[in-house]
Amino acid sequence: QDLEGDMDVLKGALRTVQKTDDKAEMVRALSDMRTAASDAKTRTPDKLEGQPADSAQVKDYHAELDKLIGQIDDSLKLANAGDLAGAKEQAKQFAATRDEGHKKFR
Ligand code: HEM
């Protein structure tokens, strides 16, 4: 799984999160997003190729993905509690993190 593949999973699973009314399906989609975001942390975007692992930019890349993972966990908590509307509301915040990440690293 490369970074593009991780991003494609994020995109597809987010669409499921936004439209499903099935608790198990939503929990699965959010879990898939969590796995993809964690995997993305092990990849290097082209823009950061050659940057040392401890550089400010690489750290910021990881921090942006950790922010997304934290938001996914908040949504997962709600979904697991059966609050699908709340989980969807929380998932609206993913887009801002996505846009931030893309502006800086895509
Ligand atoms: C829910 C959140 C996100 C979604 C839905 C999303 C979706 C996508 C999609 C659809 C692509 C194009 C992939 C392709 O070419 O097939 C992409 C590329 C990319 N995204 Fe995201 N993204 C998200 C969050 C992030 C975050 C948080 C970061 C950075 C911290 C990030 C960094 C990148 C980079 C670097 C690329 C270019 C990858 C490449 O083609 O090599 N994305 N993203």
Q: How far is the CA of 80 from the centre of ligand 1 (A)?
A: 26
Contacts of residue 48, Cβ cutoff 8 Å, sequence gap at least 6: 55, 57, 58, 61, 105
User: Which tens digit of pLDDT belongs to each residue from 12-63?
Assistant: 999 999 999 999 999 999 999 999 999 999 999 999 999 999 999 999 999 9
Instruction: Kindly give the distance from the C-alpha atom of residue 4 to the centroid of ligand 1, in angstroms, as a whole number.
Output: 7
Name which residue sits closest to atom 28 of ligand 1, judged by CA: 101
Per-residue pLDDT tens digits for 67-87: 999 999 999 999 999 999 999
Cβ 79 vs Cβ 30: under 8 Å: yes
Query: What's the 67 CA to ligand 1 centre distance in angstroms?
Result: 14
**Domains, the chain, with CATH or none:** 3-105 (1.20.120.10)
